[in-house]
Chain A
Amino acid sequence: MIKKIVLYSASALFALFLFASCNLDGAGIFRTISTSTEIENSDLATEPVARILGKDGNIMFIQRRSSVMYADVSVVSPVWSPIKLQDSKNPDAVAEAAYIEGQDLLVYSSLDPDDEAGSKKNVYTADLSNPSAAPIAADKVVASISVIDIFSDGTDAFVVSYDAASDTTTISKVDSASNVTDMGSFVTGIADLDSDPKIYAPPAMVNFVYEDTLDSDRHFIFAYYDEDTSTYRNFHVDESAYSTPTELTTAVLGTDNASPVIGAFGYDGILYLVTREGVLIKSTTSAGDTFTAVNADSPMALAVGSSLSFAPMTKVTKADTNPYILIGGLRAIYSYNITTPAIPTEFTSDDDFYTNISTTAILDFYDSDSNDFVFYTATSNRWLYKILSETAASVQLL
């Protein structure tokens, strides 16, 4: 009798469990598995791809750990090879890098071997027109500076550096002939440590925007951590005045300024910024001096309590032929309909392209033609994916 009671109770609980958990979310377990792709090279796939640097035809360049690697991504299973870089004395481990697509030129930083403190870097250029050459000669163009990041606008590279002694943030341009020009610099006076003498804060993160359609200016968005107030302070500079930063206050942004800007993108003369709190902000003019918050009341879950410092953004065209801004985060991609503005919408595993990348942080996007839904993404799950369309499973390339 007791056994029957136990069995009936168990079956009742089981039936309850059925009602509660028969959730058929997702694109289908076995269907997802049937589209999974093997890691072609376990040695390469042990670390995330930090940045997709760009493409030259079918050859894609990526930065992974301290290497720049390349592969023909038009084939089914690309074979990735490291590029061997070396100056006259040393093989160079890459710290920050940017690839000038139109010039086949890599601009990168590497730790200065002569700096005993190990904090300064040299900036090099290297011709990647023949990436399989070994080694590729690297020309030192700037010596021993504190590089924060390097960006490319397709014609030149821009090196952002910081001098702690003078609390100076500097933007330098490296052109295709490896000439270096200081474009401007500024001092913030933001405290890094509450000490005497005062120690100032370097940029915690920098975002670069260049779209070259309705807005041909280069824009830089800086975020500094202010020890005095325990908040972030965001600044904007553009080509018109690289030495005159405009602080993006709460009143300017239309939302709380304490959160750092971790993503920036430009389209049709509008600057789109994303804060770590998940608020999308867009400028009302290309000058980027007046902004409105799109979703201050419904922020995106981009960082989810982590210290995520970069939210990649790109623009695609979806099947409805509308342009959308994509915003990547920790285990999430959001889309923002530019034509019919609303708050950003998160993709789910019901979106076929998203299934293979749904449980990983989005580290970078690369999109050479924003008039379709074909692009590349690097993920923290160590792999690089090509997105073929909204309705097809994404293809693993690394």
Chain B
Amino acid sequence: MKKLSAIVAALLMTGMLLTAEDLAENAEAEAAGSEQTAAPASFRYDTGDQVYSLSAGPLFNLFIWTPADLQPVVSGKMKVGGYISIGWDAYFNHRASLGAELGYGFARAIDDRLYNAVPFLGKISYLLIDGSFSMPVSFSAGLVYSSYDSQHYLGSMVKPEIAAIFSLNDEWALGLKTAYWLIPELYFGDNRDQTSFGNFLTVKAAVTYSQQ
């Protein structure tokens, strides 16, 4: 069941990526065929625009939720770590985009053992504010590979994010992104008491490149 869910998630994510890719390709074709219908200059992005981003910043563990334990919410068990990611977005109208993100995060537990996370996420975003200063909000979901000592877990992850982006020119922009991570670590049957949820916060500096 668990593997089935993961496969479905992977296929959904692939579908999301393909949809975004199709949209981008269709938009490019439309733009080439009808110059007159180009978007007004007040919009920073047009259908088919693609944005590539590189982000990095600290990773904070907010708390760990272990529902089966007598003290289910535990905080302060991990030191500040780091997260770096690459992202891609394709706009399917002036304000909304679909995309993907691949990253690597790490943080040490307070006993110095290292936690690693490699998220691979599909993403949908919407620009709350558009212009030379833009504020996209996004919701990402996908898979994350986690390791800690000899333990490994491939599970799901969701990540709402809000960003503040300042355009340097038509192509380049700098910004700050902050996101909340929820990483469920689900177990079933006799091991169900091991189920736990990692809760993290990232604050990242980002540089983006727009291909219009």
- Give residues in A with beta carbon < 8 Å to B: 3-4, 7-8, 10-11, 14-15, 17-19, 21-34, 36-39, 349, 356, 358-359, 383, 396
Q: Once the chains bind, are B110 and A36 in contact (CB under 8 Å)? A: yes
Q: Which residues of A sit under 8 angstroms from B69, Cβ to Cβ? A: 31, 34
Measured between alpha carbons, how far is A36 from B112 in the docked complex, in Å? Answer: 9
Contacts A/B (CB < 8 Å), 21 sampled: A7-B17, A11-B14, A22-B3, A24-B153, A24-B187, A24-B191, A25-B151, A26-B151, A28-B185, A28-B191, A28-B195, A29-B153, A29-B198, A30-B183, A36-B77, A36-B110, A36-B111, A349-B151, A358-B149, A358-B150, A359-B149
Q: Once the chains bind, are A36 and B113 in contact (CB under 8 Å)? A: yes
**Which residue in A18, A24, A383 is a CB contact (below 8 Å) of B7?**
A18
**Which residue in B11, B145, B146, B197 is a CB contact (below 8 Å) of A11?**
B11
Q: Which residues of A sit under 8 angstroms from B14, Cβ to Cβ? A: 7-8, 10-11
Q: Which residues of A sit under 8 angstroms from B197, Cβ to Cβ? A: 30
B89 contacts chain A at the CB level, 8 A cutoff: no
Q: Once the chains bind, are B7 and A28 in contact (CB under 8 Å)? A: no
List residues of B (129-151) whose CB comes within 8 Å of A's CBs.
143, 145-151
Q: Which residues of A sit under 8 angstroms from B145, Cβ to Cβ? A: 21
| A11-B11, A15-B10, A22-B154 given; A30·B185 CB < 8 A | yes
Q: Which residues of B sit under 8 angstroms from A36, Cβ to Cβ? A: 77, 109-111, 113
Q: Which residues of A sit under 8 angstroms from B195, Cβ to Cβ? A: 28
**Which residue in A8, A26, A27, A396 is a CB contact (below 8 Å) of B111?**
A396
Measured between alpha carbons, how far is A34 from B62 in the docked complex, in Å? Answer: 12
Q: Once the chains bind, are A25 and B111 in contact (CB under 8 Å)? A: no
B78 contacts chain A at the CB level, 8 A cutoff: yes
Q: Once the chains bind, are B194 and A28 in contact (CB under 8 Å)? A: yes
Measured between alpha carbons, how far is A29 from B117 in the docked complex, in Å? Answer: 11
Q: Which residues of A sit under 8 angstroms from B150, Cβ to Cβ? A: 25-26, 349, 358-359
Q: Once the chains bind, are A25 and B152 in contact (CB under 8 Å)? A: yes
Q: Once the chains bind, are A34 and B64 in contact (CB under 8 Å)? A: yes
Q: Once the chains bind, are B149 and A27 in contact (CB under 8 Å)? A: no
Q: Once the chains bind, are B64 and A33 in contact (CB under 8 Å)? A: yes
Q: Nearest 4 CB-CB pairs, A to B?
A: A26-B151, A28-B194, A30-B196, A11-B14
| A11-B11, A349-B151, A396-B111 given; A31·B6 CB < 8 A | no
Measured between alpha carbons, how far is A76 from B115 in the docked complex, in Å? Answer: 25
Q: Shortest Cβ distance from B49 into chain A, in angstroms?
A: 17
Q: Once the chains bind, are B21 and A3 in contact (CB under 8 Å)? A: yes
Which residue in chain A gives the minimum CB-CB distance to B199? A30
B74 contacts chain A at the CB level, 8 A cutoff: yes
Q: Shortest Cβ distance from A137 into chain B, in angstroms?
A: 38
Q: Shortest Cβ distance from B47 into chain A, in angstroms?
A: 18
| A21-B152, A37-B111 given; A28·B187 CB < 8 A | yes
Q: Shortest Cβ distance from A8 into chain B, in angstroms?
A: 7
Q: Once the chains bind, are B109 and A33 in contact (CB under 8 Å)? A: yes
**Which residue in A21, A29, A37 is a CB contact (below 8 Å) of B151?**
A29
Q: Once the chains bind, are A18 and B109 in contact (CB under 8 Å)? A: no
Q: Once the chains bind, are A31 and B196 in contact (CB under 8 Å)? A: yes
Q: Once the chains bind, are B148 and A32 in contact (CB under 8 Å)? A: yes
Q: Once the chains bind, are B78 and A33 in contact (CB under 8 Å)? A: yes
| A37-B110, A38-B110 given; A18·B185 CB < 8 A | no
Measured between alpha carbons, how far is A24 from B113 in the docked complex, in Å? Answer: 19
